[in-house]
Amino acid sequence: MALNPDAVGLEWDGGTRTWTSTDAILYALGVGAGAEDPLAELAFTTENTHDVRQQVLPTFAVTLGGGRPPASLGEINLARMLHAEQSVTLHRPLPVAGTVRVTSRLAGLYDKGSGALAVMESSSTDESTGELLAESRTGLFFRSEGGFGGDRGTSEPWAVPDRPADHVVVSRPREDQALLYRLSGDRNPLHSDPWLAARAGFDRPILHGLCTYGFTGRVLLHAVCDSDPASFGGMSVRFAAPVLPGQELSVHIWDEGDTCLFRTMVGDTVVLDRGTFTRKAR
């Protein structure tokens, strides 16, 4: 596979994405809502509970935009592609059901030496009102595709405060979590097919990075937003290590006011790094 640097700057219409109440609930279950206590998150896991209005987990927005890189970037080898970075910004809470128009652009292609990092930006606009609902930025790392002489890119400064985390929240994805999460649209067989996982160097299929992202987003929503999606501004992470279904996740959060810094860990291994969360004033 040879990536095409000339594709940088390309914009494309990603079409429309429609979802229903059931899709929003399936996503919530896919990122662990209700798994530990079926009565704890009924606003996200049911549509007909007495005196409970259904709501949508903010990180559901990452399933609406983005997607695969354009064909002009080059032939994509799934066994060599890893999700490297992800951010999402919410402009207002997502409706329980709706349709968005997605527009995307290839924002950059960076030469990291051992591989290449392709960065895509997408916006999701409510088809009925024209209102911008969410924006996302996705970084995909292609192993063995570096060395083409391109710009390495830059990183924003990031460091946690010199104090223990203000919140540490532990959760454990199910052993079959990847099979459940893939029903929200990401059917990459790296997360279900032992043969492809072995070709990619893993002993067994790994958890979707965006599933770990969704677990972490739920923790942030409940820990620092009082479970109110309207207070969820946005979150960005770098994917640092793979997670296997069933491994315990611990989210370490440093609350800095309108901004929180966070890491997600499996034991002593950081799996989501350089986490930044923004909270909206209410």
186 part of the active site: yes
| Residues ≥6 apart with Cβ < 8 Å to 193 | 205
Q: Classify residue 226 as left (phi > 0), alpha (psi -120 to 50) or beta.
A: left
| Residues ≥6 apart with Cβ < 8 Å to 48 | none
Selecting among 91, 191, 208, 252, the annotated active-site residue is: 191
Q: Beta 167-171 vs 249-255: how paired, if at all? A: antiparallel
| Residues ≥6 apart with Cβ < 8 Å to 229 | 55, 56, 57, 58, 90, 93, 94, 221
222 part of the active site: no
Selecting among 23, 91, 186, 252, the annotated active-site residue is: 186
For residue 148, the 8-state DSSP code is: S
One-character DSSP codes across 77-112: -GGGEEEEEEEEEESSPPPSSEEEEEEEEEEEEEE-
Q: How far is CA 240 from CA 22, 29, 150, 216, 277, in A?
A: 32, 24, 23, 14, 17
Amino acid at 94: L
Active site residues: 186, 191
